[in-house]
Amino acid sequence: MPSRYRSALGAASAAILAIAAGAFAPGGPAVAATTPTATAAGLIRVIVEYDDPDAAALAVSRAGGKVGRPLSVVNGFVAEVPSQRLSALKTAPGVRGVTVDGTVSLSAARWRADGDSNSMFSVVRATGALDVWKKLDSTGRNIAGTGVGVALIDSGVSPVTGLNDTTRIINGPDLSFESQASNLRYTDTFGHGTHMAGLIAGRDPLTNLLTVSDPSNFTGMAPNATLLSVKVAAADGATDVSQVIAGIDWVVQHRNDPGLNIKVLNLSFGTDSNQDEKLDPLSHAVESAWKKGITVVVSGGNDGTTRSNLSMPAVNPYVIAVGAADSKGTESRADDVVADFSSRGNATRSVDLTAPGRSIVGLRDPGSYVDVNYPTGLVPGDTTGRYFRGSGSSQAAAITSGAVALLLQQRPSLTPDQVKKLLTSTADVMPKAEKLGSGAGALNIKRAIDAPTPSAAAAAQSWVASTGAGSLEASRGTAHVADPTSGVELTGEKDIMGKAWNGTTWGKAATAGTAWSGGTWNGAAWTGTSMSTGQFPGLPTAKTWSSVTWSGTNWDGRTWSGRTWSGATWDGRTWSGRTWSGNTWSGRTWSGSYWSSSIWQ
């Protein structure tokens, strides 16, 4: 453990561990009071610091408790234990210390969403979504995304308030490395996916969409949409391109499953691949989804002016590539500019439009990697502790995906090409913004809803079709994961299961929408074969795709079985590669851009 944390814990463990759990930001408001947090089952929530993670987890289990999320910044984890066993747990082997977690009240000026131009309370007004919700579709329903499925391929979604509606939030397959840990499966240990999900389809209980005037209520762009979470990333974003491609293929194949109706795919992800987009497998995967009737929204990337290309697969000309706009702290579009971190691309391929992407206030995922390691993302004065602020083309893509869901409820028969045409032809002019990087302008979903439907011929895109026959290794760019035991990176033409990659064979299957056979992809069993309820801890009515125990070996020839799949071992700290766009993660094993958010503050 770093000395700065060890000394701080010795001096004021309760306050510092509250920071570790994400209760407040260092240097922010003073702590007014801390009270123990009890769970519904009568257990006390605690922070367990360990010398030996497995021994500490075993001690919690023997005490009749439950192990929760890892807190890598303090070499610990969250747990729930009976209060009468606290003393015994503190002296158990492998346990360095146990501190009761608490509800921390802060003395500061209260933050209000209606006073923040980057809150979703303000974003839904600036983009016209609030006006759209008051309109009716052809069946007399308010246009809020009802009946439209949005697939989110990301780091999972945690059931925080606003995302705990089991009638709308569904867990698709978990294809991440954490799928093999029952306590981590489906859950967002990173924090990115939860933030995106809230912007797309978050909605607080009992919110009346016709009178959304209470700034204490959180509402995403399409608050009635169905959101399908496909988890591909582990605790610090660790994922391989093969996992992302497998997730896209799964969405395509299951888009018409009962209760899903997947019409939108959000991918806030991109590598620095320079491979021709017609050959790149990741590019071909999103193009295949597009041609199967799914509107694919992709973050343009957060490389600013340092690269002359958008991220892969945003370079694919079919999909909707979104850049991040900076509101300059006002609700007026007149002073909006392209955010400095947002990728500009080049004259051949830049973003199609922009959406709000600077300092966006979304839903916080307490105890997640981002929450623990980037306390500057916490919102000062937020007495609820529910919110987290982030910047990136990720956020811009998520906001746009929600807008697309509104459009597709109004006009379900729109093709992806028509959706793209409507959004780009009705975008607001950004007079202060540079042309390269702003595309057609700023998202205005009200104007798109009010605009006439362009003919299929007028909207049709006729780019040269991709094949996906290129290199999987080239698709990774400089982004690689590594086995946490051996340190061996996954490189070459093989997936995480060590299966050989044949781009020509896979490309044809992806085009046909047949890359999956049951729970098998590229010759290995990755997931289960059915949807059911009762698999998600704490939410017995949540719909969840079944899992499967991985067999065989990974790319390094090491067996999946017999691994220690604890949060302490697989918390992402030992995975190497590239993650969030920008330089936020410099100095760690991850550098550069992968998931397209750059700043948590």
Tell me, letter by letter, the H, E, C secondary structure of 541-581. CCEEECCCCCCCECCCCCECCCCCCCCCCCCCCCCCECCCC
Which residues are CB-neighbours of 500 under 8 A, at least 6 positions away?
493, 494
Instruction: Give the three-state DSSP class for 596.
Output: coil
Identify the active-site residue in 154, 272, 365, 483.
Answer: 154
DSSP annotation of 209: G
Q: What is the pLDDT, as a whole number, of residue 71?
A: 67
| Spatial strand order in the sheet of 95-100 | 66-71, 76-81, 44-50, 95-100
Q: Is residue 249 within 8 Å of 267, Cβ to Cβ? A: no
More confident residue, 79 or 518: 518
Q: What is the pLDDT, as a whole number, of residue 79?
A: 86
Max distance between CA atoms of the chain, in angstroms, equals 72
Chain center to CA of 302:
15
The model's pTM: 0.80
Distances (CA, A) of 309 to 314, 345, 451, 526: 9, 4, 32, 33
Query: In 49-134, which ranges are continuous DSSP H helix?
Result: 53-62, 86-90, 120-126, 129-133
**Which neighbouring-strand residues pair with 30?**
107
Distances (CA, A) of 373 to 19, 376, 597: 10, 9, 15
| pLDDT at 14 exceeding the cut of 90 | no
Token pair belonging to 427: 């975008």
| pLDDT at 471 exceeding the cut of 70 | yes
Across residues 399-414, what is the average pLDDT? 98
Token pair belonging to 156: 């999972």
If you compute the radius of gyration of the chain from its CA atoms, what whole number of angstroms results? 23
CA 601, CA 388: separation in Å to the nearest integer? Answer: 8
What mean pLDDT is reported for the chain? 84
- 195 catalytic residue (yes or no): no
Instruction: Give the three-state DSSP class for 489.
Output: strand
Tell me which of 19-33, 130-144, 262-276, 368-382 is least confident. 19-33
Tell me the pLDDT band of 25, cut-offs 50, 70 and 90. very low
Relative to beta strand 320-326, strand 295-299 is parallel
Identify the active-site residue in 13, 72, 192, 495.
Answer: 192
CA 164, CA 204: separation in Å to the nearest integer? Answer: 9
Instruction: Give the three-state DSSP class for 86.
Output: helix
Instruction: Give the three-state DSSP class for 83.
Output: helix
Looking up tokens 């998202």 gives 443
Q: Is residue 168 within 8 Å of 402, Cβ to Cβ? A: no
- How many Cβ atoms sit within 10 Å of the Cβ of residue 278? 18
- Which helix (H) or strand (E) segment holds residue 424: the answer is helix 416-425
In single-letter form, the type of residue at position 474 comes to A
pLDDT in tens, 130-161: 999 999 999 999 999 999 999 999 999 999 99
Q: What is the pLDDT, as a whole number, of residue 4?
A: 27
Token pair belonging to 205: 């209980």
CA 474, CA 472: separation in Å to the nearest integer? Answer: 5
More confident residue, 10 or 240: 240
- 176 catalytic residue (yes or no): no
pLDDT in tens, 186-238: 999 999 999 999 999 999 988 877 666 678 889 999 999 999 999 999 887 88
Q: Is residue 178 within 8 Å of 193, Cβ to Cβ? A: no
Angle between helices 503-512 and 281-291 (to 10 degrees): 20
Which residues are CB-neighbours of 471 under 8 A, at least 6 positions away?
275, 279, 281, 493, 503
More confident residue, 349 or 54: 349
Q: Measure the CA angle with vertex 48, ends 42 and 51; round to 5°.
A: 150
Angle between helices 393-410 and 192-201 (to 10 degrees): 30
Relative to beta strand 30-36, strand 66-71 is unpaired
Identify the active-site residue in 179, 242, 394, 401.
Answer: 394
- 394 catalytic residue (yes or no): yes
CA 264, CA 267: separation in Å to the nearest integer? Answer: 10
- How many Cβ atoms sit within 10 Å of the Cβ of residue 32? 10
Q: Measure the CA angle with vertex 376, ends 207 and 9; round to 5°.
A: 115
